[in-house]
Amino acid sequence: MTAALPRNQENQVTGATIWLTGLPSAGKTTIAYELADRLRAEGHRVEVLDGDEIRTFLTAGLGFSREDRHTNVQRIGYLADLLSRNGVKTLVPVIAPYADSREAVRKRHMASGTAYLEVHVATPVEVCSERDVKGLYAKQAAGEISGLTGVDDPYEEPESPDLRIESHNQTVPESAATVHALLIERGLA
């Protein structure tokens, strides 16, 4: 059994949610894992809430309608807030295509007094289509799927993210370093 931290030490552990939003294949997850490694090396408690893993375990059964996407984002937002309130740096590389869904997550964090940063991985759809990590763009072009965010389903770009990264103009380590610098600037790393 582990002893609980004395109250003054417990308060020194600062959690935060860092939500990386962007199109499919924008580089969100790759940047998140690079940043996670860096933060862990510095001694931070870190979790990555990968959107694909979450859909397999936490939100299985949800489709891709606007309502289901909103529910998916809210469930992930709740979990991220819970982890972050308990001292974990929670990295969330999830598309979250709708501004109102992202805003609801931000408000949840504000209500609980938990740090929340929105990072827009602003990669052009043409670059994402070339990367096509999961083959989604090819399937959409072949008519095998529909509702692909940014192609035939909307993606509402954040108007005022805490940070905008153009992943197509820098390396993954550079992108992760940019987010890390923001965390330092905000007193979160």
According to DSSP, the residues that pair with 19 across neighbouring strands are 92, 118
CA nearest 120: which of 163, 91, 170, 169?
163
For residue 112, say whether it is annotated as part of any ligand binding site.
no
For residue 25, say whether it is annotated as part of any ligand binding site.
yes
CA nearest 94: which of 166, 136, 155, 39?
155
Residue 114, exposed/middle/buried by CB under 10 A (0-12, 13-18, 19+)? buried
For residue 28, say whether it is annotated as part of any ligand binding site.
yes
For residue 89, say whether it is annotated as part of any ligand binding site.
no
For residue 29, say whether it is annotated as part of any ligand binding site.
yes
For residue 139, say whether it is annotated as part of any ligand binding site.
no
For residue 149, say whether it is annotated as part of any ligand binding site.
no
Q: Which residues are known binding-site members?
A: 22-29
Q: Which residues are known binding-site members for ATP?
A: 22-29
